[in-house]
Amino acid sequence: MKLKGTNKNPKRIGLMGGTFNPIHIGHLVTAEEAFFQFNLDEIIFVPSGKPPHKTDRDIASAEDRYLMAVIATASNPHFTVSRIEIDRVGPSYTVDTLREMKRIYGVDTELFFITGADAIIEILTWKDPEIIADLCQFIAATRPGYSLRKFEELHLVGNRKLPKVHFMEIPALAISSTDIRLRVKEGRPVKYLVPEGVDQYLKKRGLYKEHE
């Protein structure tokens, strides 16, 4: 039986951060699996506004990415989408989002930041990684057979504090936003790689197509 947060059991919230350019089935499978594996009360998808580590020019507008996330998660009662980074002025830093979530939901709330294992390996390049370590735990989604050697090597770099990280295998991670954008640009189908509503949104808005 799944126990929800009470006064004796602080609320457990999963934050699914990412560019979501676009959101796809792999994101949704990862969030759903984290929800059950880690006994979370809800999952909040947090599309980034201005990703500080992204230099790809082929990024849809923040509003388009937010709306696709809303469409993709609408049918799931424990999924919601936050505008916290979309509406924030300036770059979207994880540490700022975590602080704001603690302010909104209470300091006793347990935050679990869900992201890909590749992003975890870059954690020392993030803003204030030691503060992040005090604010949340990480759930790192990996493909089956993914090597954790790079992450293990991080512990050998100085004496910097790292967040607690839980690794979770997700077969659907073979799907990637990069591949989906390429398929759209080449006129190839993305049906079943993204939710039906997102597929229709991409077509209606003409996102990621090659423009003359």
Of the chain, the end-to-end C-alpha distance in Å amounts to 56
Q: In terms of C-beta density within 10 A (0-12 exposed, 13-18 middle, 19 or more buried), how is residue 164 classed?
A: exposed
The dihedral of CA 118, 123, 127, 132: what is its sign? positive
CATH number of 13-144+153-203: 3.40.50.620
Amino acid found at 48: S
In this prediction, residue 211 carries a pLDDT of: 56
User: How is the chain split into domains, by residue range?
Assistant: 13-144+153-203
The pLDDT assigned to 160 comes to 67
List per-block mean pLDDT (blocks of 10 residues) for the chain, which spans 212 residues: 56 96 96 97 94 68 96 98 94 92 96 90 84 94 78 65 86 85 95 96 93 47
Length of the chain equals 212
Q: Which residue has the tokens 């839980």?
A: 166
pLDDT of residue 134: 94
